[in-house]
Structure 1
Amino acid sequence: MTGVRNSLFLLLFCGSALAAQPWKPDDGPSEAEIDAALGRSPPTPSGMPSTPSITPSGLAIPVVGIPMARLTDTFSASRGGGARRHNAIDIMAPRGTPVVAAADGVVERLHASRGLGGITAYVRSVDGAWTYYYAHLDGYAPGLQQGQRIRRGDPIGFVGSTGNASATAPHLHFAISRMGPADRWWQGTPVNPYPLLAGRMASR
């Protein structure tokens, strides 16, 4: 009986002592370390809203948290030492800021290259008449794949500086092309996105 009583005493004493100790998780990798190991892009910078702005044209500004007043018309700017026209606008934002679909469509092409656009996405409108081009991405949104139907505001990826963009000036290179019936994803006639997104006249 004495042995039983001693065992019960130890059990009750140790149990109450353990209960008095706050539970602490084991030390493990931080969220940043997990993201780096999995190749995930950083979370949305603090202070950024979680939904895109819808412009009077019906398009969403493809970088979350950027108001119309912050957009700049760089469509006619020269690139490559004056060898070519930009044919797009650059939307400056912190690296990791979410990039979303400007309009409904189908993901026609996901392409990554070391030069030019870097990590890119081409989204064709449902009627096939327009292509929306998103370039210099830091990475794609989880699950994004070619052939996927997406809606305006759906995630595309994250602002970055891949390709021929400056590492110190992350931004989204956003272009719109009017597509002919036989045009492939890299073809079409460039259309200035600025007046459609900013509600202003394009610069000359």
Structure 2
Amino acid sequence: MTETSTSSPSPAAAFALRWLRRLVVLGLLAASAWWAWPRLPDPWRAPFHAARLAMQPVPTSLPVPVAGVAANRIADTWGAARANGRSHQGVDIFARRGTAVIASTEGVVTRKGTNNLGGLVVWVMGPGRQMHYYAHLDGHAPDIGPGSHVMPGDTLGYVGDTGNARGTPPHLHYGIYQSGGAINPHPLLRAGMGTAAKAGP
């Protein structure tokens, strides 16, 4: 009776087999991530978008964030006196009540809510960690909320007169804030006169 002996693979073959298995597993994980990414809810993807946007340069021009309004129709009221010793830290964009207020940049919605001065508001973090403030809305777009990823032209809400604008002609108060404080949006809107963000669905 003869004994049958089985030889074990050489160290090189065993090493190659281990790496092949790892590559197969990594390939399956990558394919699963690629398939799952567009199906994940926005809040789950928000940290990735926020980190990517934070590394981008701040815009040097912006489209007007109210559908159908041209930049040359907007007065520069930056720094104008307001009640209780405040100064105007933004621009007012007048339009018919219910006109779409649209994102001026790609960004992540950080807040959708209400405050005393702004009424119904939306905050969006855009490139370079600038915060874009949309205030006095008549209503919010129903499909956005904290964590929503928006693109230029996506609808955020609708022009109104909520907050301390009650009784004034409907308008959007649009402000931009960065690490050093508020900046004047008017020059950026004027620089963007050749571009226009289209209202989203």
Give the corresponding residue for 1:111.
Answer: 113
CA contact (8 A) 1:75 1:87 kept: yes
Distance 2:141 2:190 in 1: 25
Give the corresponding residue for 2:104.
Answer: 102
- Structure 1, unaligned stretches of length 5 or more? 1-55, 180-187
Distance 2:61 2:186 in 1: 13
Q: Percent identity?
A: 44
CA contact (8 A) 1:97 1:159 kept: yes
Give the corresponding residue for 1:91.
Answer: 93
Give the corresponding residue for 1:68.
Answer: 71
* TM-score using structure 2 length: 0.63
Among 59, 64, 70, which residue is 2:62 paired with?
A: 59
CA contact (8 A) 2:62 2:191 kept: no
SS at match of 1:78: coil
More divergent stretch after superposition (145-154 vs 166-175): 166-175
Query: Are residue 120 (structure 1) and residue 121 (structure 2) matched?
Result: yes
- 1:50-85 CA distances to partner (integer Å, 9 max, x unpaired)? xxxxxx94422100110111011011101115x011
Residue 163 of structure 1 deviates from its aligned partner by 0.3
What is the number of equivalent residue pairs in this alignment? 134
Distance 1:126 1:175 in 2: 15
Distance 1:94 1:111 in 2: 22
Distance 2:127 2:186 in 1: 22
Give the corresponding residue for 2:52.
Answer: none
- RCO higher in 1 or 2 (8 Å CA, sep ≥ 6)? 2
CA contact (8 A) 1:120 1:137 kept: yes
Residue 125 of structure 1 deviates from its aligned partner by 1.4
Give the corresponding residue for 2:140.
Answer: 140
- Structure 2, unaligned stretches of length 5 or more? 1-58, 193-201
- 1:27-70 CA distances to partner (integer Å, 9 max, x unpaired)? xxxxxxxxxxxxxxxxxxxxxxxxxxxxx944221001101110
Give the corresponding residue for 1:9.
Answer: none
Distance 2:71 2:168 in 1: 23
Letter in 1 for 2:96: P
RMSD of equivalent CA atoms: 1.8
Among 80, 83, 98, which residue is 2:83 paired with?
A: 80
CA contact (8 A) 2:101 2:158 kept: yes
Matches within 5 A, 1:163-182: 163-179=163-179
